[in-house]
């Protein structure tokens, strides 16, 4: 019979279907905990939860399945344990990285009817998106940041995928701004975190000669390189564990390096000159209030104290990574950034503020997570065709949904939606045909690369001029003028379970080319020597795609940011702003046109 409220929504017949559906939830953080609760209350037959992380104190305000006693416990297993007692669903938890191909081969994913993404980074989102494309599995992608949030249903082959729109990597700054001419507090924080801290405690790399330094001035380039190598020497100091060198470190960073900068006169023609930190003293007087702005003396004292502590830690830990929740690493970065800010006459920040910036933190809001998880679970019923009174879903009728601040449509409407676009023909992920090649272990040894390539050519009508790339390692295995490896066996080429092979038509000047195809190698225990998938590899007209075609006017970043494409979006944006119904793509953004979404 089942829970009467869910039966009312889906009907008795669909309820039986719902009970047999197996879904995958990736991420048991802010959205993940909410989603797991919803999916359990909806009585999905089986819910598998994957999360690689353990619980932090800072998660407890919104990840309501966790308690103080759970800190340092795995998120996935703890979430499942917390909800098990009210669950009518079979729950399975994994404390693992979803990108672990040994633990989660493609065949494992193929057991699910639907995947929910509740992730916080671009790499994992992309990986799941690609996997869903491989298996033609529907995916419900989601993210939130503060009051902003979105869900995007992705139906492979029918609606745009996560990678159909360009995803920008987070904002970066030119090296010369960070290393020579900071003009905002964030430049000092980036210097302290990404350059100083990582040089001294994480790893020692000198500046690569081809790194874009953002300056042409030979004197400045020379100084940046020299400074990096000198820092390498400081790292040796730090490793020695000798506390007496701390004043030398301060002198090097905030006096001699600054004096060297001052000697490059070009830099200061149109800028205020920095003031080196001459005559500093170190005392024991420490400020412990993380939300106040400390005096210069307090910054110097805290910098000396925490450097001493990190030197001691380094002796046992060998390498220390920056972590916003590790007070020592945060204090080092905050005080170093603030002393540099004093030197460059820039505003100084409290430790708490530096934590927000250095940890890329936008306060997570439990309500936004709950709304987005609610929308995602509701969308799942549509995607799976389980709603009682709604006719079978045409993917064209599915919508993305956004919470208020991410929408430009109406200032007094909290939720807005936008019809899903069709797949972008130039998408690097979903414009490629995909399938699974199964083969026996003995075939790996007996079949040569050339034989496999011939079989693929024949089956999918590829021409002679194709290239074959091992996508897992980005190795070129063959192309029209490189056939040296074709006589080698697949196992000689280290190809096997989980390898990804990309075949591409390499002909020039043809009116019509075959689309690329990507194959996943899967070992087959049933004795099949070699079986190629029954997939259709379409052709396309290369000249038909002009660079302007269908360019999206916004970018949804999985890391994630919503960014307006300034060059292309203007006219479209206007159109959207004028539109009243139906709500369309989001565009109302903060002043700097960036909204971060986890």
Residue 128 has, within 13 A of its CA and on its CB side, a CA count of: 27
The three-state secondary structure class of 326 is coil
Q: What are phi and psi of 146, to 5 degrees?
A: 55, -130
Alpha carbons 245 and 570: distance in angstroms, whole number: 56
Nearest to 121 by CA among 558, 556, 595: 558
What does the block give as tokens for 308? Answer: 């001493």
Residue 11 annotated as part of some ligand binding site: no
Q: Using DSSP, how many helices (H) and how many strands (E) does the chain show?
A: 17, 19
Residue 301 annotated as part of some ligand binding site: no
CB of 382 to ligand ATP, least distance (A): 24
CB of 247 to ligand ATP, least distance (A): 36
Q: Which of 176, 188, 245, 515 is catalytic?
A: 176
CB of 186 to ligand ATP, least distance (A): 19
Binding partner of 120, given Zn ion, ligand ATP, none, CB within 5-8 angstroms per partner class: ligand ATP
Strand partners, 556: 562
Q: Is residue 545 within 8 Å of 426, Cβ to Cβ?
A: yes
Write each residue from 339 to 378 as x if it is in contact with ligand ATP (CB under 6 A), else as -, in one continuous string: -------------------------x--------------
Residue 27 annotated as part of some ligand binding site: yes
Among 121, 172, 243, 275, binds ligand ATP (CB under 6 A): 121
- Span of 118-126, 289-297, 312-320, 515-523 interacting with ligand ATP by CB under 6 A: 118-126
- Span of 94-102, 274-282, 301-309, 537-545 interacting with ligand ATP by CB under 6 A: 94-102
Residue 561 interacting with ligand ATP (CB under 6 A): no
CB of 97 to ligand ATP, least distance (A): 4
If residue 594 lies in a helix (H) or strand (E), which one and from where to where? strand 594-596
Q: What are phi and psi of 298, to 5 degrees?
A: -65, -35
Strands of the sheet with 530-531, listed across from one edge = 475-478, 466-470, 500-505, 517-523, 433-439, 530-531
Among positive and negative, which fits the CA dihedral 378, 383, 384, 386?
positive
CB of 364 to ligand ATP, least distance (A): 5
Residue 39 or 311 with smaller CB distance to ligand ATP:
39
Binding partner of 119, given ligand ATP, Zn ion, none, CB within 5-8 angstroms per partner class: ligand ATP
Q: Is residue 150 within 8 Å of 142, Cβ to Cβ?
A: yes
Alpha carbons 339 and 274: distance in angstroms, whole number: 12
The three-state secondary structure class of 512 is coil
Residue 52 or 589 with smaller CB distance to ligand ATP:
52
Give the pairing of strands 475-478 and 22-26. unpaired
Residue 115, class by beta-carbon neighbours within 10 Å (0-12 exposed, 13-18 middle, 19+ buried)?
A: buried
Among 10, 24, 40, 52, binds ligand ATP (CB under 6 A): 52
Residue 61 annotated as part of some ligand binding site: yes
Binding partner of 75, given ligand ATP, Zn ion, none, CB within 5-8 angstroms per partner class: ligand ATP
Sequence-ordered alpha helix ranges (H) in 461-562: none
Residue 125 annotated as part of some ligand binding site: yes
Maximum pairwise Cα distance, the chain: 82
Number of shown-chain residues binding Zn ion (CB under 5 A): 6
Among 15, 21, 24, 30, binds ligand ATP (CB under 6 A): 30
CB of 237 to Zn ion, least distance (A): 50
The three-state secondary structure class of 331 is helix
* 3-class secondary structure per residue, 6-70: HHHHHHHHHHHHHHHCEEEEECCCHHHHHHHHHHHHCCCCEEEEECCCECCHHHCCCCCCCCHHH
Residue 24 or 200 with smaller CB distance to ligand ATP:
24
CB of 332 to ligand ATP, least distance (A): 20
Write each residue from 186 to 215 as x if it is in contact with ligand ATP (CB under 6 A), else as -, in one continuous string: ------------------------------
Residue 49 interacting with ligand ATP (CB under 6 A): no
Residue 366 or 485 with smaller CB distance to ligand ATP:
366
Residue 45 annotated as part of some ligand binding site: no
Residue 413 annotated as part of some ligand binding site: no
Residue 317 annotated as part of some ligand binding site: no
- Known catalytic membership, residue 176: yes
CB of 355 to ligand ATP, least distance (A): 11
- Span of 49-57, 211-219, 238-246, 392-400 interacting with ligand ATP by CB under 6 A: 49-57
Angle at 295 between CA 289 and CA 297, to 5 degrees: 110
Q: How far is CA 120 from the centre of its chain?
A: 6
DSSP classification of residue 577: H
Q: 207-242 burial, b for 16+ CB within 10 Å, e for fewer?
A: beeeeebbbeeeebbebbbebbeebeebbebbeeee
Binding partner of 430, given Zn ion, ligand ATP, none, CB within 5-8 angstroms per partner class: Zn ion
Q: How far is CA 225 from CA 275, 276, 495, 521, in A?
A: 22, 20, 41, 45
CB of 165 to Zn ion, least distance (A): 8
Residue nearest to ligand ATP (CB): 29
Interaction residues for Zn ion, span 399-458 (CB under 5 A): 427, 429-430
- Span of 24-32, 164-172, 219-227, 410-418 interacting with Zn ion by CB under 5 A: 164-172
- Span of 20-28, 146-154, 239-247, 279-287 interacting with ligand ATP by CB under 6 A: 20-28
Alpha carbons 207 and 104: distance in angstroms, whole number: 38
Among 39, 164, 224, 365, binds Zn ion (CB under 5 A): 164
Q: Give binding residues for ATP as ranges.
A: 27-32, 51, 59-62, 75, 120-125
**Which residues make up the interface to Zn ion (CB under 5 A)?**
161, 163-164, 427, 429-430
Q: Give binding residues as ranges.
A: 27-32, 51, 59-62, 75, 120-125, 161, 164, 427, 430
Q: Give binding residues for Zn(2+) as ranges.
A: 161, 164, 427, 430
**Which residues make up the interface to ligand ATP (CB under 6 A)?**
26-30, 32, 50-53, 58-59, 75, 97-99, 119-121, 124, 364, 598
- List, by residue number, the catalytic residues: 176
């Amino acid at each position: 019979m089942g829970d009467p409220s869910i039966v009312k929504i889906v009907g008795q017949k669909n309820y039986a279907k719902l009970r047999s559906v197996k879904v995958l939830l990736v991420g048991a953080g802010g959205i993940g905990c909410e989603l797991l609760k919803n999916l359990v209350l909806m009585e999905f037959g089986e819910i598998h939860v994957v999360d690689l992380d353990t619980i932090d104190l800072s998660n407890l305000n919104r990840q309501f399945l966790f308690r103080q006693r759970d800190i340092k416990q795995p998120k996935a297993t703890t979430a499942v344990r917390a909800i098990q007692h009210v669950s009518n669903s079979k729950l399975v938890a994994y404390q693992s990285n979803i990108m672990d191909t040994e633990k989660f081969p493609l065949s494992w994913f193929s057991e699910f009817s639907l995947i929910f993404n509740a992730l916080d980074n671009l790499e994992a989102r992309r990986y799941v998106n690609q996997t869903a494309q491989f298996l033609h599995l529907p995916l419900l992608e989601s993210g939130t940041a503060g009051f902003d949030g979105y869900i995007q249903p992705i139906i492979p082959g029918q609606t745009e995928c996560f990678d159909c729109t360009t995803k920008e990597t987070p904002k970066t700054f030119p090296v010369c701004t960070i290393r020579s001419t900071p003009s905002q507090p964030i430049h000092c924080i980036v210097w302290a975190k990404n350059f100083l801290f990582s040089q001294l405690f994480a790893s020692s790399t000198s500046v690569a000669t081809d790194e874009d330094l953002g300056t042409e001035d030979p004197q400045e380039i020379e100084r940046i390189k020299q400074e990096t190598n000198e820092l390498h020497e400081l790292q040796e100091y730090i490793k020695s564990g000798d506390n007496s060198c701390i004043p030398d470190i301060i002198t090097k960073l905030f006096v001699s390096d600054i004096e060297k900068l001052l000697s490059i006169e070009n830099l200061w023609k149109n800028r205020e000159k920095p003031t080196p930190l001459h005559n500093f003293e170190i005392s024991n007087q420490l400020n412990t209030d993380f939300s106040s702005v400390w005096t210069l003396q307090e910054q110097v004292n805290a910098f000396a104290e925490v450097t001493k502590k990190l030197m001691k830690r380094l002796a046992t830990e060998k390498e220390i990574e920056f972590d916003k929740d590790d007070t020592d690493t945060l204090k080092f970065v905050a005080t170093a950034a603030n002393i540099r800010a004093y030197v460059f006459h820039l505003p100084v920040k409290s430790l708490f503020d530096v934590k927000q910036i250095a940890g890329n933190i936008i306060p997570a809001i439990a309500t936004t997570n709950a709304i987005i998880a609610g929308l995602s679970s509701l969308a799942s019923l549509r995607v799976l065709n389980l709603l009682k009174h709604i006719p079978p879903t045409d993917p064209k009728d599915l919508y993305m949904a956004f919470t208020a601040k991410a929408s430009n449509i109406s200032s007094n409407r909290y939720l807005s939606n936008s019809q899903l676009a069709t797949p972008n023909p130039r998408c690097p992920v979903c414009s490629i045909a995909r399938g699974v090649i199964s083969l026996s272990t003995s075939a790996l040894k007996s079949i040569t690369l050339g034989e496999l390539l011939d079989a693929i050519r024949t089956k999918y009508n590829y021409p002679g001029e194709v290239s074959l790339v091992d996508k897992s390692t980005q190795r070129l295995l063959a192309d029209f003028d490189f056939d040296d490896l074709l006589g080698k066996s697949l196992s000689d080429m280290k190809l096997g379970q989980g390898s990804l092979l990309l075949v591409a038509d390499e002909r020039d000047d043809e009116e019509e080319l075959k689309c690329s195809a990507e194959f996943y190698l899967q070992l087959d225990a049933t004795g099949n020597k070699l079986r190629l998938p029954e997939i259709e590899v379409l052709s396309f007209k290369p000249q038909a795609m002009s660079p302007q075609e269908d360019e999206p006017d916004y970018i949804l970043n999985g890391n994630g940011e919503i960014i307006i494409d300034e060059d292309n979006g203007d006219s479209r944006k206007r159109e959207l702003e004028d539109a009243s119904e139906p709500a369309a793509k989001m565009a109302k953004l903060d002043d700097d046109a960036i909204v971060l979404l986890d």
